[in-house]
Amino acid sequence: MGRLVSVNVGMPKNVQWRDKTVYTGIWKTPVDGPVMVRRLNIDGDGQGDLGGHGGEQRAVMVYQAESYDFWMHYLNRGDLVPGHFGENFTITGLSDQEVCIGDRYRIGDAEFEVTQPRVTCFRVGLRLDEPEMPNLLVSQHRPGFYFRVITEGHVQAGDDIVRTRRGRHELSVADVDALLYLPNRNPPTLRKVVDVPALSPGWQQSFNDMLASGEESAPEIGVGPGWNGFRPLRVTAVRRESPSVLSIRFESDDHAPLPPPRPGQYLTVRLPGAGDPIPLRSYSLSGDPVAGDYRISVKREECGLASRWLHAHIEPGSVIEAAAPAAISISPTTTGRWC
């Protein structure tokens, strides 16, 4: 049995971060006494980016006290308190390795269903002033997860967390998160996950697209010179080559030269804010291989979620997340299409 350690809420606000203003609700603080949890939110709480957070499938963000202990040791931090990871519920006793998509839990007067792992966008790195946090949450298998509200009601710190139903196929939060973001996907697990009705529609779509494109065995992200997992890259220049083609240059977020790519390699990027789950796309590298930065060119597709978002929103100073250049494109062109 788990326990609710803290209920945390906060309204979105503008925050200065690396010469940009970010509108975010990731600052959460504990509240005392009973709090009403409704279908779309907790009273007193809000989200800044409704494209990537909030809504029925992500009404309540959950993170574990045990993960706080882990990160305080890993990061050598003594200042982490409930709400620091942007979670609404700080809990104990239910790890990401144990909790499964589709599990239902009763807390206080309310009942909840696990819908998906945390969307690891850059805002958690902003909040902790640790730019690598989105990648670390995945690589260390500690993403946290979201609840859908089955029955509205009051909850408060100290409430027991009682499981009322086990999710279909018993696929853990950590395993489902790794299935999307890490290499060496397990094909039987990929086929099972699309059969979990509680999994949020965005994640369902991504996994169905992988199956449809024959992407059951994932290529190694970041094989060769570079880095493991994903890291932030900053946009340095945007050039419109034609009405439908945009060229984008990236540099390391710390301004260090990027490893030179090999001929024929792709850059796989994640685009926080463009959708949920965060879309992954691969684009051919088209710049000078010894320039110390990366260049891609993106054609705007009328039905393409990522290309439309890039053409509408990317600008110098924007930050995306990228895997090291690889020789294989990992994202089908149909993923996340609107038409």
- Read off the pLDDT of each residue in 93-118 and give the average, rounded to a whole number: 96
In the prediction, which pLDDT does 292 show? 78
The residue-averaged pLDDT of 10-14 equals 89
Two structure tokens written together for 51: 């494209």
State the Cα torsion 87-89-92-93 to the nearest 10°. -100
Q: What is the DSSP letter of 172?
A: B
What's the full length of the chain, in residues?
A: 339
Rounded to 5 degrees, φ, ψ at 175 are -70, -40
**What pLDDT score does 202 carry?**
81
Give this prediction's pTM: 0.68
Q: Name the residue ranges covered by the structural domains of the chain.
A: 2-213, 230-327
| Same fold across 2-213 and 230-327 | no
Looking at domain 2-213, what is its CATH homologous superfamily?
A: PK beta-barrel domain-like (2.40.33.20)
Concatenating the DSSP letter of every residue in 240-263 gives EEETTEEEEEEEETT-PPPPPPPT
Closest CA to 15 of 117, 89, 86: 86
DSSP states of 264-305 as a string?
A: T-EEEEE-TTS-SSPPEEEEEB-S-TTSSSEEEEEEPPTT-H
Confidence at residue 224, expressed as pLDDT on a 0 to 100 scale: 45
How confident is residue 51, by pLDDT bands cut at 50, 70 and 90?
A: low
Average pLDDT, the chain: 84
Asked if the 230-327 domain carries CATH number 1.10.10.10, the reply is no
Question: pLDDT tens for residues 208-256?
Answer: 877 775 655 444 444 444 676 678 899 999 999 998 899 999 998 888 8
